[in-house]
Amino acid sequence: METNYFVCTLGQAAALKKNNHDFRNISHFLQHQASRVGGKPAVGFFKSRITDSQIWDYHVLSFEGVHERVQVTAELLAESLGGDVPPGSTVALLCPSSADFLFTWLALMHLGYAVLLLAPQCQPSAIAHLCKSCEVSHLFYDEVYEEQAWASAKLMKDESVGKLSTLLLPSSGKDVFESISQPTEREHQELPAVEESAVAYLHHTSGTSTGLPKPIPQTHRAGLGVLPCLNGSSKATFTTTPLYHGGIADLFRAWASDALIWLFPGKEAPITAGNIIRCLKVAGECAREVNVPPVKYFSSVPYVLQMMEADKRGMEFLTSMDIVGVGGAALPAEVGDRLVEKGVHLISRFGSAECGFLMSSHRDYAKDKEWQYLRSSQGSDALRFERQEDCTSELIVMPGWPHMAKKNRPDGSFATADLFAPHPEIPHAWKYHSRADSQLTLITGKKFDPAPLESAISADEHVEDVLIFGNGCPFPGALLFRSKNYAELSDADLVEALRPTIERLNTESQDHARIPRNMLVPMPYQESNLDKSSKGTILRSKAEERYAQAIEDAYAKLSAVNGADVPDEKVSGFLVRQVQSIVAKETELTEETDLFAYGVDSVACMQLRYSLRQLLPKGSEELPLSIVEDCGTIRRLSDYILKQRHGEAHTDTDDETQMMLDLVEEYGMFEDTDQANGHVNGQSNGSAFDGEVVVLTGATGALGAHILDHYRHDKATGKIYCLVRGSDEHAARGRISKALDQRGLVDLSSDDEANKKITVLQAHLGDARLGLEDSTYEKLCHEATIIMHVAWSVNFRMRLRSFVKDNIASVRNLIDLALRSPNPHPPRFAYCSSVASVMASNSGTAIPEAIITDPTAASPLGYSRSKWVAENICYRAHQQTRLRPRIAVFRVGQLSGDTKHGVWNTKEAWPMMLSTVRLTGCLPDLKDEPLAWLPVDVAARAFVEATASMAQPQSQSQTGDRMKVYHVLNEHQTPLWTEMLRWLQKSEEFEIVEPREWVERLEGMQEKMRDHAALKLLDHWKKAYGEGKEEGDTVKGPRFELGETKKVAGVMEEVRPVDEEYFGKMWRWLQTSMEL
C-alpha cells in the first residue's frame, strides 16, 4: 500500500528518506514554511457569526499568515512577562483548544520557552503538582479558566511549594484574529538560539492509575523534526482531538507535508455529532468557494466515532473520507466492525510520547477488513515483539528507531509495556491487547487488563459506562452504569440484556478474568458516572475511591445469606440459584445437569465451594477442594450437604464400573454402514486433493500442535482441517496460532507456504454433526483420508459422567464421520488414548498392544475411565464396521518437553510438582520412580508414522479380530527421580523430603497461594502420597509391550533415556512459563 502523510510512521519516513534534514527547531520550521510555501493554506478555524450563533463561518490562514501571527503574539506575550522569565524556562498554558491556544503556544516556543500544556480537566491540585514538578513560575490562562488558575496559585502558596504568577492571555475577551491580525510597528525580535534537542512542550499523563499526573516532555526534534515530509497539499485533515493532547501531533503531521488541517472549535462548542457535522459542512463550502483542499482525513478519539456512527449524516461524512483514524484509547471492537461493514476506511494509529508514531492499520481497504491490527512491515526493522507468558508480546523499540526519547534497557532499547496479540493469518499484523502496567491483580496473584472488557461491554446500548474491579479480591466484578435511554430498566433486566455479551467475553477470557453473573452490579442512572481523562480512559483510582462502598457491598452480599438457615428441602433450589447467579448462561439448569457441561469452570468451583460451606453448621469439617468436581450435579451436591448436616457418612452411589460398560453399549452400536451409505461397487467421487487430507482435533494442545506441525511440513499431505472450539472461526484460528507459538513452532500468521494447507473450522465435537454446516460436514466426508482425534478434557478432578457429553460422544461422532465416506476405503481413524486406561491391569505381565475389555483395568480417575470407554467404542467400530483394518488406538505415556526447546505442558502433573519447589522449599523423594518421559515432538512423529502405515492393505488373516493398538511411551526405566533431583540441586536450593511431608507443606500453603496451579492436584497427591502411606512406599507401574509400535513407527526405536542436558531445557522453560 502506498503511504501518505496521515498514516506514514516514523520508521517508514526514515526508510523512504522523507525527513526534514534541515530542521533546527519549531520556530525555524515555521519561518522556513512561510518562505517556501507561504501562500498554501495551513490551518482552518470555525467561528459562529455574531448575528446568528447557528451559522458558522470559516477562517483559513496560510503558512505565511500563521508565521506572522505567531510573531505578533510573541511580542504581546513578551510584554506580559516583562523580562522576568529567561528563555529556556518552562511556562504553563491553560486554555481551550482554539486559535488562542495555537498562537500562544507557538509564540511561547518562538520566545525560547518550553510550554507545559495543561488539560482543562485538571483539578487545581493536579495543576499545582505539575507546575511544581516542571519548575513553572508563570501560567498563562484563558478567561474561562480564571478560577482554576487562581486556585492553583493559591494552593502552591499555601503549601509553600513555590510562587505561581497567573497571567491572562493577551487575546482573552477579544477576537483573536483581529487582535493579532496586524503586525506591530516594532521590528520582530531575533529568534533565540534553541537546539532541536531542547524541550519544546510538555504533555502530561491523566493520572489514571495514581491520581497524580506526570509531565511528558517533547523536544523540538521529537515534535516535528522526525515527521515525514510528503506532498500532502491536495488533501486536508480534520481533527476533533484537542491541541493539548493528540491534536498537536495531527497539526505538525499535516504541516510537515504542506497540508491543511482544520481544528474543531473546542472553546466555542461542545464536541457533539451535530457540531462535527456543521464543521465538515463549512469546510466543504470553503473548499468549493476559495479552492482549498477538501477534507479527506478524519482524526478522532473513540467516543467521537461512536457519536458519529449514531447519526445518519455523520455516517455519510465518515464514509466519504479516504481514511478515518482513531487513537488515544481503545475503540470498542463492535463499533469499529460496524463502521468497516458500512464502508468506512477505518484505521487504528499507535504511537507513544517516547518514540512517536510507531504503527497504523493502513491496508488495502477493499480486501482487508482487519482495522484493529496494526501493521509492522515497511520501516519497522527496529520494532521487536517479545513474547510474554500469556502469549501476548510486548513491543520493544530497538536502537535505530528515528526517535527515542527514553531508553530503559541496557542494550539501548525501550520496552514500551504495551502488549499485543498477533493476527492468526496476516503476517506482521498486531492487535493492541493491554498495558503490562495497568492490570488488575487478584488476591491469587493472577493479573489481567480490565480496559478491553470494559470497552466491549460499554459498547452495548444499555450501559453508558462499565468499571471492572477486583484488586486484592478472589475474582473480578463489574459496576454497570445504565445509559439514559434505559434509566428505568430493572436490575434483573439489565443483567439479562448484557448476558450474551458477558457470556461471550467470559468464553474468550482467561479463567481468572471471567466475571461471575452474581458480580454484575447494576448502578442507578446518573448524569456523571466515571471520571475520565480527555482521551476517554477511566481515572481508575478515583473511580474505585468514589464507588468503594458499592464494590465492598458486591463481595459482602455473597455472604449475606445465612445458608445454614436454608431448610433441607430447599437446599437443591438454593444451589440451582447459586450456579445461575455465577454462570451467565441461558441454558436450562436442572438437578441432573452436568455442571461442567453447563459452564462451571475453576473460578465458579471456588465460588460454589464457598456457597456450600454456608449451608453447613459452624464447626463442620472442611469441604474437599474438589467437592464440586466430585459431585458434578446439583442433586449430588445437595445429597452431600444433607448427609454432612445430619452427621452421615457420604458414600458414592455411582457404580462407575457399570457406567463404563453401559457407555460402551450406548455409544458402541453401529449399523451396516456399507449398506447405509449406498456404497456400490467401490464407486465414489474420491478426494478432491492430491495427497492426504487430515481431519485433526486437539491442535490447541501440546501433542496436537506438534502433530499439526508435522503434517503441514509433510509433502504427502495436501490439506489439514483443524476442528477447534471458539466463539467464531477467527477465534478458533487464533487459538491454534497461539498454541503453535507457545511451543516454539511457526504460528499461523506466518506467510510460510506450509500454512496454506491448514483450514480451521469452528466445531463442537459433542454435536452429532460436529457443529459444522451441512455442506462443510459433507465436504469432510468426501475428502478425509485420515481422522486423528487428539482432543480431550485434561481434568483429573472430573468424574466419568462429566466426560460423556463433550468427550466420549465426540469419539462416536468422529467415527460416524469416517463411516459416511463414499470412498472405497474409509479414512484411517486414529484415537489418542492414554496408558491410564489400562494402568490398573493386574495381569502380572507386560500390557499387550491390544484392547482390554475389563473396565477395572483403568485407574480410578474419571479421566482414565473415559479413555477406557473410548478405546472400547473404537473396538466396537473395528468389530462391526468397514473400519476394521483402518482404526487404531494410541496409548500415550508421560509426555514431556520437546527436544528442541524443552517446552512442556503447564497442565501436566510433573511440571506442576516441580513448580512447587520455591513455594514449599522442598520436593518429594519418589525414590524408584523412573523418568519414563517421552518428548512430545517424538510422540507426534510416532502418530504420523504409524497412521501412514495403516494405508497398507492387510488381509483378514493378518488382522483377525485384533485391533491395532500402539504404545507411545518411553520404555526406559532409568534414570530415576532421585537422580533428577540431584541435577536440579545444582541450580536450585531445596530440601529433598518424604512425599508425605511435601504434601503437608503444600497443603499449608493453600491460604497464601490458593490459586497456584499445583493446588488443583493436591487431593490427587494426598491420595497418592499423603496420610496412610508408608514412608518409602513406591508403586511400580506396569510394563508395556512396544513390538508392534516399533514396526510401524521407526522413531520409537530411537528413543533414549532422559539425560541432564534434556532436563535442563525443560527446567529453563518451566522457570519462565510457570508460577514458581
pLDDT tens digits, residue range 623-669? 776 788 778 888 888 988 888 888 777 666 567 889 999 999 999 99
Q: Name the residue with cell 499568515.
A: 65
Q: Which residue type sits at 296?
A: K
Provide the pLDDT for residue 107.
Answer: 95
Element (H, E) at 599: none
The residue that leads in pLDDT, 961 or 53, is 961
Residue 30 pLDDT more than 60?
yes
Cβ(362)–Cβ(7) under 8 Å? yes
Class of domain 440-558: alpha beta
| pTM (predicted TM-score) | 0.59
Report the CATH number of the 27-39+62-220 domain.
3.40.50.980
CATH 3.40.50.980 maps onto the chain at 27-39+62-220
Provide the pLDDT for residue 1013.
Answer: 73
Residues 685-723 pLDDT 10s = 445 556 899 999 999 999 999 999 999 999 999 999 999
Residues 922-941 pLDDT 10s = 999 998 899 999 999 999 99
3-state secondary structure of 351: strand
Q: Name the residue with cell 523418568.
A: 931
Distance CA 796, CA 1020 (A): 8
Which residues, 6+ apart, have CB-to-CB distance to 583 below 8 Å?
516, 517, 598, 599, 600, 604
Provide the pLDDT for residue 428.
Answer: 87
- Tell which residue, 602, 575, 631, 574, has the closest CA to residue 475: 602
Provide the pLDDT for residue 200.
Answer: 95
CATH 1.10.1200.10 maps onto the chain at 561-645
> What are φ and ψ of residue 889, in 5° steps?
-110, 130
Taking residues 1013-1029, what's their average pLDDT? Answer: 76
Distance CA 685, CA 149 (A): 82
Provide the pLDDT for residue 676.
Answer: 40
Element (H, E) at 786: strand 786-789
Residue 351 pLDDT more than 90?
no
Chosen CATH of 561-645 out of 1.10.1200.10, 3.90.1640.10, 1.10.10.10, 3.40.190.10? 1.10.1200.10
Ranked by mean pLDDT, the top range of 214-218, 350-354, 810-814, 916-920 is 810-814
CATH 3.40.50.720 maps onto the chain at 666-892
Residue 38 pLDDT more than 90?
yes
Taking residues 596-618, what's their average pLDDT? Answer: 77
Q: How wide is the angle at C-alpha 493 spanned by C-alphas 488 and 497, nearest 5°?
A: 110
Computed over its alpha carbons, how large is the radius of gyration of the chain? Answer: 34
For residue 1034, name the pLDDT band (cuts at 50, 70, 90): low
State the average pLDDT for the chain: 86
The residue that leads in pLDDT, 671 or 263, is 263
Distance CA 716, CA 922 (A): 49
Class of domain 666-892: alpha beta
Q: Which three cell numbers stand for residue 67?
A: 508565521
**Helix then strand then coil, % of the chain, to nearest 5:** 40, 15, 45
For residue 21, name the pLDDT band (cuts at 50, 70, 90): confident
Distance CA 637, CA 158 (A): 64
Cβ(607)–Cβ(475) under 8 Å? yes
Distance CA 100, CA 97 (A): 8
Cβ(473)–Cβ(460) under 8 Å? no
CATH 3.30.300.30 maps onto the chain at 440-558
First to last CA, the chain: 47
- Tell which residue, 988, 864, 842, has the closest CA to residue 920: 988
> What are φ and ψ of residue 350, in 5° steps?
-130, 130
Residues 173-200 pLDDT 10s = 677 776 665 555 545 556 678 898 899 9
Distance CA 169, CA 94 (A): 10
What is the DSSP track for 554-588? HHHGGGTS-GGGS-GGGHHHHHHHHHHHHS---S-
Cβ(1043)–Cβ(962) under 8 Å? no
Residue 955 pLDDT more than 50?
no
Residue 1021 pLDDT more than 60?
yes
What is the DSSP track for 164-200? -EEEE-TTTTS-HHHHTSS--SSPPPPPP---TTSEE
Q: Which three cell numbers stand for residue 887?
A: 482404526
Residue 956 pLDDT more than 50?
no
The residue that leads in pLDDT, 536 or 320, is 320
Element (H, E) at 864: helix 862-880
